[in-house]
Structure formats: C-alpha cells, structure tokens
Structure 1
C-alpha cells in the first residue's frame, strides 16, 4: 500500500514588519509525528517548490524571514510538512505578505551617521576594538552631522551601565545637526543595529534639544556584534534589529541635538542612525 502523506499545513499567514516578514501556520495534528516544516519562499506572487526556494527547515509552526532591508518587499510562501518517515505533504496554499518600508527609504535625510546596510564597519573602533572606547570616548559621543567623520567620531558600540569594560556607568551619544527650517510634516528617527547584548540590551532615554521625550527599548541580540561588524555575511551569527520612531514636532531652525542616554542594560552595536523628514 502507498504510504499516506502527512496533512498539508493550513492557516499559513504572513505579517509584514520593518525589514522582515513573520510567518505563522496551524500546528499539524498530534497524530502525525512531524520531523520538520520546509518553508519555501520567493519574491512576487508565485513560489515554486524547489531547493532554490527553500528558506528554512523548522520544527515550529513559525518563521521570521528577516534581513529584508529598508525597501518594502513582497514575498509569497508555501509550507511543506515532512513527517518522521520522510514523507512530504502537498504544499500549503500560498500566503503573500509585504515588509514595511523604512523611513530611510520614504523620508528625506536631515542627519545621518553611517550607512543603513547591515554593516557597522564604517564606524569608529569597528569591528572589535571596544576595549579602546574608554580612552577614545571618555565623555561619550558628540557628533556633528555633515562635519565629523563616522570612522572616528561615532563609536560602533554604545555601552550601558552593565558593561564593566566601559566603567559600569551611563553613556550618552549626541547627534548634532543644523536645519534652515523645521520639517513641516514631522520627522522620524531611525536606529538600525547589527546586534546587541543577548539578554541585557536594555533601553535608552531619547532627548531632543535637551528635553527627554521617550524611552527607547532595544531588542536582545546575539552578542557577537562586539567583535564582528557585518551582519550580511552568509551564516552571520549577528542578530540585527531596527527601531524607527516618530519624533515630536520640536525640531527648530538652527542647531538641533538628538541625545541617546544609555542608562539601562548593556551595549548595542550600530549599523546606522539618522533623522528623516516626512514627505
């Protein structure tokens, strides 16, 4: 008798987020011993089932398709259930989702440090000279956009009070920039990280022109970003994260300052930072 195929995955659905698409589906009933789910995906409306479209094998009914970059990307996915005997189900119904466009693409740059490319190699002390931070930046970072050089003026790591190598104290990074007039439609702050501490990424107080306006919470990473500077290398152990927040309309003509006061947790590793006017 022919071997019965495992049931096809059902309820496959995608949710677009910044630089990633989150995919979920219904778990296979317990009567089937699942070895893994094979997730296939391709840009656009169609996805053939082939080795070239295989994105991941996972034992969980969940997959985060990450590192998609700042442009909105439309992907289609199908899931194949593989049981303990190696039998493969029919592919699931296709599910299509689109990642969210970054303000680094939709906005007008007002002040930018680094390149939003998944690498922090253009920043000071990158990729592994964090031990030099106390001597190089004894008072933190004070960076003037359009004047200072990121390779010497903006450290790739911002420590927190949990970091003994940086004195177990708070650390403030300041971004200064000039405006001829404030943006009429508002502005966004983009903070892209190539990695962060695995369990204590913590948070920072965001201040604009000396006034605290928000507390930013960072996603935990994989810790390797303290010694590696490129999250785009195939098989990279780094865990990038992305934070984009709308700023209150307090920017002004003349000099403006954005302060990130790391008074909680451990270090974060920068990809790039920028302020973007809304179009």
Structure 2
C-alpha cells in the first residue's frame, strides 16, 4: 500500500494570542481530506488543535503571555489513512505589553469587551451629535462611558458623515520617559471588507500608519467577543513609541481614521517597559 506523504518544511511564527503555521502541501497525486495539526506544551503529549484543507493554520486563543509549544502536522487522505507526523517545530506566541509592561494611561479593560464605552453596543448612529468634534479624551478626567466612543468611524461610513475621524488621548508625564513606551490598541471587531487604516501620531509627530485586519462587521451591534460562539473577530495591535516623542506635562496620542470604515475598541493605552 502506498504510504501517505507527510507534510514538509513546517514553519511557524508567534503573534499576540496566536501562532501561525505554514508547510509545503503534499503532491496533488495524494487525495487529501485534511491536515491535522497537533501541539504539545512542555512535557505534555501532543493534542489535536485543529484541522485544515490548506497548508496553513492559525492556532488562536493562546492568551497574552508567551508560551513555547511544539507543533507537528499529519496528512489525512480521502480514505482516512494518515501519514507519519511532519518534523516538529517549536513556536512561542508573543507576550503582550499589557502583561510585561506597566500601565501609564489607558481607557478600557483589555477584556475582549467594549461595553464600558459611550454609545455601546449599538448606537453608532448617534455619533455625529454625541461627538461633533470627535473624541478628545483626557486620562484621569474624562469618563469612558461618556467621553470615549466604542467605534471610531472612517470616511466610508455615511452614518458618520463620510469623512475622516479621530481620537485624541491625552495624559500627563512628570518627565521624559527613561525608555521607550508602547501603545496597546486592542479591537473587539472591525469592518469585514473595508477595515482600512489610520495614522498614528504622538504630540503632532506622525509615527506610522496602522492597517487593520478584516473583522466580522458585527462589532457595531455586539459589545462582547468573549462568549462562546461570538461572531466577532478581535485584533491586537501593539507598537513601540520612542521616548523622544514624549515630554513632561501633557502628551497626546492621536489616531486619525482616514481610510475605510469603522473599528470597534476593546481598550487603548500607553505602557512603560519593565
């Protein structure tokens, strides 16, 4: 009997809350039903973590502290026969700055929910009258459920005026930071087809353009991505902010949504290192 070929060249990369695996597909002469992906942590035995028909798999829901896992993949053909396991690869998911760092200023709880913000969970149509000049939030003074909207609309959103929108996040520092800081921007969801991008600036200096992954277009109506079966697609963006951008007194981090449609916030904050 012809042996089922094993996947080759398994490789992986760690992200926040996830690990992405890729491998070389077996030859077309093999009638593949699926690939079975197995993972082991520490000295534990391998457990099935997913199946896919593609030579690509994302292992999600891994939390935000880095854990080293060993993966291997098995080919399963149309008759149910299995290959030997692929050579193993060890991958560690990234540790979030919300775990490794110390919070300097933040709005939201980093809990997969946006219910603590203004207009949540489904009153986005009230944005133009509630935030006619967009969001301008001062840490320690402003109130999340009044002063920070659960959505940041973009120019593709007719209900918000088909124009660019921004959030300004202000906080005080006693002095220039001793080291670089980090931005932690977590989303519970975004628009499925036109999530677009936004320009990130600190104290009027552009840092970079943030591109948002496609979501599920449900976060404008639902505030919780954590319950079983939730249709939302969270995303986690964390970026370094050079210390040279900051000064003593009030500092402002600004996000200008000038491309695409809305994003739905989980939390937004600035963290120190160590």
- TM-score bracket relative to the smaller structure: over 0.9
Residue 200 of structure 1: how far off its partner (Å): 1.4
Partner Cα separation in structure 1 for residue 171 and residue 213 of structure 2: 27
Residue 38 of structure 1: how far off its partner (Å): 1.4
* Structure 1: gaps spanning 5 or more residues: none
Residue 237 of structure 1: how far off its partner (Å): 2.3
Residue 115 of structure 1: how far off its partner (Å): 1.5
Query: What is the match of residue 28 of structure 1?
Result: 26
Partner Cα separation in structure 1 for residue 196 and residue 241 of structure 2: 21
Partner Cα separation in structure 2 for residue 56 and residue 144 of structure 1: 44
Please list the CA deviations of residues 112-164 of structure 1 after superposition, one character each: whole Å capped at 9, or x if unmatched: 11112222222222222212222222211111112222222211110001101
Secondary structure in structure 2 of the residue aligned to 1:118? coil
Query: What is the match of residue 235 of structure 1?
Result: 229
Query: What is the match of residue 18 of structure 1?
Result: 16
Q: Give the aligned length.
A: 273
The counterpart of 1:121, out of the listed 115, 126, 131, is 115
1:41 pairs with 2:36? no
Secondary structure in structure 2 of the residue aligned to 1:135? helix
Partner Cα separation in structure 2 for residue 120 and residue 41 of structure 1: 32
Query: What is the match of residue 260 of structure 1?
Result: 255
1:99 pairs with 2:97? no
Deviates more, 1:176-185 or 1:220-229: 220-229
C-alpha change, 1:131 and 1:25, in structure 2 (3 Å) is same
Give the TM-score normalised by the residue count of structure 1. 0.91
C-alpha change, 1:29 and 1:186, in structure 2 (3 Å) is same
The counterpart of 1:89, out of the listed 71, 83, 88, is 83
1:269 pairs with 2:267? no
1:178 pairs with 2:172? yes
Partner Cα separation in structure 1 for residue 206 and residue 55 of structure 2: 41
Give the TM-score normalised by the residue count of structure 2. 0.92
The counterpart of 2:191, out of the listed 179, 193, 197, is 197
1:160 pairs with 2:154? yes
* Structure 2: gaps spanning 5 or more residues: none
Deviates more, 1:55-64 or 1:83-92: 83-92
